Amino acid sequence: MESATSAVAGASRPGIMRIGVTTAVFAAAGALLAIGLLLAFWWAPTDASAMGFSQKIFYYHAPIAETALLSFGIAFVAGILYLRRQDARYDRLGVAAVRLGLLFSGLVMATGMIWGKAAWGVFWAWEPRLTTFLIACLLYAGYFVLRGTVEEESRRATYSALFAIIAFVDVPITFFATRLLPEGLHPVVIRPGSSGMDHRDFIAFMLSMAGMTLLLVGMLRIEIGIEALREELQYLKNRLGR
């Protein structure tokens, strides 16, 4: 007999993630991150500046930061697409991207504080990059506060899309903060026309970047799958009259 959920399969039913693809994405991400880290520790030269060995934090710290900003960028694009097409898939993508953006932001703050203590002797400094990143975290935390206050689904999705678009204003400010205000403590690693790094540093860094980006893709698939399952559950509960 056909099951109740397969009977409603169609455009209105949320899609379920394919576990095989997600596992393959995680495996590729794990391999790239592991190789990047091995190269960072055993091939790339140790920083000759005052930072010395503690500079090794950079190989995951910077890719995590870029991934956090990329997540917010995805939420921005998903917000625009939702407003244009009113398709719930873009709302799910937006929620997943902001949630992961916050997770990566928390990690970048934590590793950044450890790095700050090693490099500057303090866990926190009110300098442009750190301050704008903190503002981004607080802004995107507000995204979930907003979602929690609106019950009606389509209104919640519309407000969330608008919020994600407006909050994205802080992302380029955060990214360019160290370039526009060079008197800050945070170093500028990649400059236009030059990576500013030894080629071994650069290869290890780019592998970590690729791995972290793939990790985000895998995690996005998980989060979207969870949102889809949640919606499917709500749909079935409504049919059951619960």
Question: Which residues here bind another protein, judged by CB under 8 A?
Answer: 1-5, 7, 37, 50-54, 56-57, 60-61, 64, 103, 106-107, 110-111, 114-115, 117-118, 215, 219, 222-223, 225-226, 229-230, 232-233, 236-237, 239-240, 242
Assigned token pair, 230: 């949640």
Cβ-based nearer residue to another protein, 168 or 221: 221
CA distances from 78 to 45, 153, 201 (A): 40, 16, 34
Sole residue written with tokens 């002797």: 121
What tokens appear for 199 in the block?
A: 């080629």
- Residue number with CB closer to another protein (173 or 222): 222
Least Cβ distance, residue 83 to another protein (angstroms): 28
Nearest distance in Å: CB 21, another protein: 15
Q: Classify 191 as helix, strand or coil.
A: strand
In contact, 132 and 174? CB cutoff 8 Å: yes
Q: How far is the CB of 77 from another protein (least distance, A)?
A: 23
Question: How far, CA to CA in Å, does 38 sit from each of 46, 133, 202?
Answer: 13, 29, 13
Angle, in degrees to the nearest 10, between helices 58-85 and 128-149: 40
**Nearest approach, Cβ of residue 173 and another protein (Å):** 25
Residue closer to another protein, measured from CB, 79 or 201: 201
The region, left, alpha or beta by phi > 0 then psi within -120 to 50, assigned to residue 127 is beta
- In one letter, which amino acid is 181? L
Q: How far is the CB of 118 from another protein (least distance, A)?
A: 4
* Closest distance of CB 55 from another protein, Å: 9
> What is the closest distance, in whole angstroms, from the C-beta atom of residue 110 to another protein in the complex?
5
Residue type, 78: A
Contacts (Cβ under 8 Å, ≥6 apart) of 69? 101, 171, 174, 175
Task: Report whether 9 contacts 222 (CB < 8 A).
Answer: no
Residue 30 or 173 with smaller CB distance to another protein: 30
